[in-house]
Amino acid sequence: MKKALIIVDVQNDFCEGGALAVPGANEIIPYINHLTQENDYDQIILTQDWHPADHKSFASNNNKKVGESIILGGIPQFMWPDHCVQGTFGAEFHKDLIVPEGAHIIQKGKNTEIDSYSGFQDNNHFMKTGLDDFLKYHDIGLVEIVGLALDYCVKYTCMDAIKQDYITCIHFNGTRAVNIKPDSAKDTIYQLVENGVSVLG
């Protein structure tokens, strides 16, 4: 069975010193590099948050405070600080992350009107990113997922992979959580396992 590694949003704004830094984010980069260098994946895909500056998930564009919520595209939307704005340093992959030659990049969150946590589609399940088509074109049956953040973009990428009938694994040592709520990481792992995601070391 052909397998792919999906590296979710290892970008400067989610790493140490970034606008939306995930605690411990930098710790996972050597682990991810080890996976890409030491394992024989048929495909390696990186997802990249790629927001326009006027994206409506940003608190600054809604006269809201970070942490408040609005309804966006008919669904609740958490208000984030400005992050991963197209063409900025914050949107670039972290310099220590090895991007293998031939890796495929999927950009998401480009629609001003709706956020996109999952690497497969936006949050209201209206617009696809092309990730599923890419995986199916290359006959991928198993995906391993790492990156940032466990309780948001990694979680929803895993959930959508399961829904698209991929055998789905998450590397626990290759991800970290935002942990807006104290038990968010633990609860996310339980939820993923309940839905058929396998947890690797």
pLDDT per residue over 14-55, tens digit each?
A: 999 999 999 999 999 999 999 999 999 999 999 999 999 999
Q: What is the pLDDT of residue 201?
A: 81
Beta bridge partners of 104: 45
pLDDT for the residue 181 = 86
Residues 48/182, Cβ–Cβ less than 8 Å: no
Q: Is pLDDT at 148 greater than 90 in this prediction?
A: yes
CB within 8 A of 127, min separation 6: which ones? Answer: 111, 114, 116, 121
Contact 12, 89 (CB under 8 A): yes
- What is the reported pLDDT for 25? 98
Q: What is the mean pLDDT of the chain?
A: 97
Catalytic residue, candidates 15, 49, 56, 108: 108
Q: So what's the pLDDT on residue 103?
A: 98
Task: Please give the structure tokens belonging to residue 118.
Answer: 């999952």
Report the C-alpha gap between 32 and 35 in whole angstroms: 5
Give the pLDDT band of residue 182 (cuts 50, 70, 90): confident
Residue 180 in this model has a pLDDT that exceeds 90: no
Mean pLDDT for the stretch of residues 124-143: 97
Given pLDDT bands bounded at 50, 70 and 90, which one contains residue 97? Answer: very high
**Residue 169 a catalytic site member:** no
158 is catalytic: no
**108 classed as catalytic:** yes
Rounded average pLDDT over 62-88: 96
Can you list the positions of beta strands (E) in the chain? Answer: 2-8, 43-49, 69-72, 75-78, 104-108, 140-148, 167-176, 198-200
